[in-house]
Amino acid sequence: MPTRVTAAVAHRGETELRVETMTLRDPGERDVMVEIDATAFCYSDWIAVRGDTGLPGLVPDPYPVVLGHSAVARVVERGAASGIDVGARVIVTATPECRECFWCRSGRIDQCEKLFVPAPVIGTLDDGREVRAPGASATYAERSVLRDIQVFPVHSDLPDSWLAMFGCGIISGMGAVVNVARAESGSSVVVVGCGQEGLWMIQAARILGASHIVAVDPLEERRELALRVGATAVADPGLEPSAEGAERVRDVVLGATGGRGADYGFDAGGSVESVQQAFALTRIGGVVTITSYVTRDTSVSLPLFDLALRGRDLRSSQSGRLDMTRDLAQFLPWLESGAVDVDAMLGPVRPLASINDALAASRDRTEITPILTP
Ligand SMILES: [Zn+2]
Ligand SMILES: [Zn+2]
């Protein structure tokens, strides 16, 4: 029996999504079909809508596509060999955990060889065209079909809107601080970019006991939110990169760190400049954590003297170097106990039909985490 669903479909060359009906394919042996309860809109999906294929499609022209990679859902159907029960409440994320490959077995689940596979076909439009799912998750829909290695059972009474953020913002932001940089109590931290990811980084740094947390963002509302969730100082680099803006930020960071620069620098700005700035603001011997990829072909230049001879430790953070089982156990209690300020992170909750409002809010940076409830 074909499954008809409403989905938000991105078409080549269009900057808005079309909310339309499509037919989902049946789950394969190792797949599950899930009903999406809530999904978080991510800025990286705006990049994908725009057609700048920073998205790991690996298909030259994957469009039309259904995006979305962070959701809470319920399993409604399972393939014969899938390991998840029908009825399970699950976190959906873009990073799979096959548990069999070299990376999974050596503790680097974030690099599982089943990540960045060519965007799979998840169904067809009414005109017969195939629809693909970059990230293989397709959560901007009432239902989705995905591999069982991308869904993780969650046992919690937390609301759907909160858990919708787990698969991307929470795991990427808090994971960068806790799993990648392993920031220590009493340390100094600078976070460049205060969107979803940066604000979760600030919250994690506060919980780990960082004594100085400098938040860098050109938008005043975001600097205010940063202070609300734990930043101890803020700095405005200006909307366009400039020498004056960089100096203003540098003054604040040096002032907070005895003139040395931060022990831990985090790039969460989604740009080449944010990577360079996080690097420049980190002290000799400090740890710089990078999350921005900008587009698939973007490169960045960094001062080699500081990199090679001044002890900076450069680390990459794909989805916070997640291990979902471990990270659910370590981060859910922070949400449940109120240790993190979740309300500060939540945008409005909208029906899927209004997804273009969420897209605009994400694109224009007027909301932190827009939530959709299909
Ligand atoms: Zn994301
Ligand atoms: Zn694997």
Ligand closest to Cα of 46 equals 1
pLDDT at residue 374, as a whole number: 85
Q: Which ligand is nearest to the CA of 137?
A: 1
Pull the structure tokens for residue 70: 């962070």
**pLDDT for res 118:** 87
Closest CA to 131 of 66, 69, 70: 66
Q: Which residues have a beta carbon within 5 Å of ligand 1, which is an ion?
A: 42, 44, 168
Quick one: pLDDT at residue 52?
Answer: 62
- For residue 311, report the distance from its CA to the centre of ligand 1, in Å: 31
Q: Can you give the pLDDT at residue 105?
A: 97
Q: How far is the CA of 244 from the centre of ligand 2 (A)?
A: 46
**Spans of the chain, pLDDT less than 50:** 56-57
Q: Omega of the bond prior to 60 within 30 degrees of 0, cis?
A: no
pLDDT given at position 372: 98
Ligand nearest to C-alpha 108: 2
According to the model, what pLDDT value does residue 44 have? 86
Q: Rounded to whole angstroms, how far apart are CA atoms 321 and 313?
A: 16
In the chain, which ranges are continuous DSSP H helix? Answer: 43-50, 102-105, 160-163, 171-175, 196-208, 220-229, 243-256, 272-280, 304, 324-336, 355-363
Residue spans of beta strands (DSSP E) within the chain = 3-10, 18-24, 31-40, 65-66, 70-78, 89-93, 121-125, 130-132, 143-147, 151-153, 188-192, 212-216, 233-235, 262-267, 282-290, 313-316, 346-351, 369-373
User: In sequence order, which residues have a C-beta less than 8 Å from that of residue 171 and are 6 or more positions away?
Assistant: 93, 319, 320, 322, 324, 327, 331
Q: Which CATH architecture has domain 3-165+345-373?
A: Alpha-Beta Complex (3.90)
- Beta partners for residue 318, in sequence order: none
Please report which residue ranges of 133-268 form alpha helices under DSSP H.
160-163, 171-175, 196-208, 220-229, 243-256
CA 214 to chain centre: 21
Place of tokens 């700035």: 277
Q: Which two tokens stand for residue 30?
A: 């190792």
Candidate CATH numbers 3.40.50.720, 3.40.920.10, 3.40.50.150, 3.40.50.300; the one for domain 170-319: 3.40.50.720
CATH 3.40.50.720 domain residues, the chain = 170-319
Q: Where in the chain is the domain with CATH 3.90.180.10?
A: 3-165+345-373
Alpha carbon of 219 to ligand 1 centroid (Å): 20
Centre of ligand 2 to C-alpha 68, Å, is 21
| 319 Cα: distance to centroid of ligand 1 (angstroms) | 8
